[in-house]
Structure 1
């Protein structure tokens, strides 16, 4: 006789202990992210620093590495989640909240060698369906950035073509500049 099991709910997932690397709750299933490696860590750090360098002093936006975002029935952890300043959740005392119950304005995913491009793209499309203005899937192996725009329109950029950013952020980057950060001289 088989025993019936109740599927895990988002609420139940959110009560589970944190894992390293982070686990996500996508389409009713728990998925653990791969452990970041050198290229991934370098790109994540540099992108966060560059975005925050231009956006934070003007209180336009803030880039958060590995931030759990709960929205649309899922709990995802983009490699970088960028929130416009006025959308950053705050506590009653004005401090940043620990829980972010909305989609980021801009989500960046950096592909690791063992990751499925389709699964990562699926996360960015879920973000787009839930109100995210911009998504990037950064592929270090191909040195390309797949852009996800509203209405799930996509564009692949390489070389010296300018990468789109949130409209209020004055940041100019190309794929060549981003992947140039991987060279350590």
Structure 2
């Protein structure tokens, strides 16, 4: 992640930045604009597969890639935001409002090689503190998934241990299955 100069910004000023929606995403944390690293191939494969798997195993939730979530003085862009359909605000035409101003129900981050784990954990903990019910941090180099949930100790999942998912997501998945998606058969 690249941090901006030490000038303190307000969240209102940050949200007016002309390059805010550029890629890679910018986040607002503790008065600073921080740019996430550009996703690489393993990150993108895991993100795509998780989006597909979670979406296909729940009618109550939708999975959204790189959705800006601005709440409680922070603006974060999880790699995947899982949100209950009934929490999405709609306008008079029945279409979703563009700005999501709450914590997602489930925030998923995929650690990139040049990303700082503590920054990612800090964002996940912020989400949990402000209403998120589940957080995942996937570490493709360690083949592990670190999970966070309110009033629970963080847990590290490896191998064939069943991963924690939200109630209403009917998905049985292990860390081993997730990271097996990175094996490419080139027959």
- Identify unmatched segments of 5+ residues in structure 1: none
2:151 is equivalent to residue 151 of structure 1: yes
* 8 Å contact from structure 1 (residues 128, 152) kept in 2: no
* 8 Å contact from structure 2 (residues 24, 35) kept in 1: yes
* 8 Å contact from structure 1 (residues 129, 152) kept in 2: no
SS of equivalent to 2:14: helix
| Correspondence for 1:14 | 15
2:53 is equivalent to residue 50 of structure 1: yes
Equivalenced residues, count:
178
| Correspondence for 1:32 | 35
SS of equivalent to 1:179: helix
SS of equivalent to 1:12: helix
- Identify unmatched segments of 5+ residues in structure 2: 1-5
RMSD over aligned CA atoms reads 1.3
2:183 is equivalent to residue 180 of structure 1: no
Pairwise CA distance, 1:152: 5.7
* 8 Å contact from structure 2 (residues 7, 32) kept in 1: no
| Correspondence for 1:134 | 134
| Correspondence for 1:96 | 96
Pairwise CA distance, 1:6: 7.4
Q: Could you tell me the TM-score, scaled by structure 2's length? A: 0.92
Deviations 1:30-88 (A, max 9, x none): 00000000100000000001111122xx3x00000000000110000000000011112
Please identify runs of 4+ aligned residues in structure 1 that moved more than 2 A: none
The 2-side partners of 1:130 and 1:151 are apart by 12
The 1-side partners of 2:179 and 2:90 are apart by 34
| Correspondence for 1:165 | 165
* 8 Å contact from structure 2 (residues 70, 100) kept in 1: yes
User: Which segment drifts farther, 15-24 or 153-162?
Assistant: 15-24
Q: Could you tell me the TM-score, scaled by structure 1's length? A: 0.93
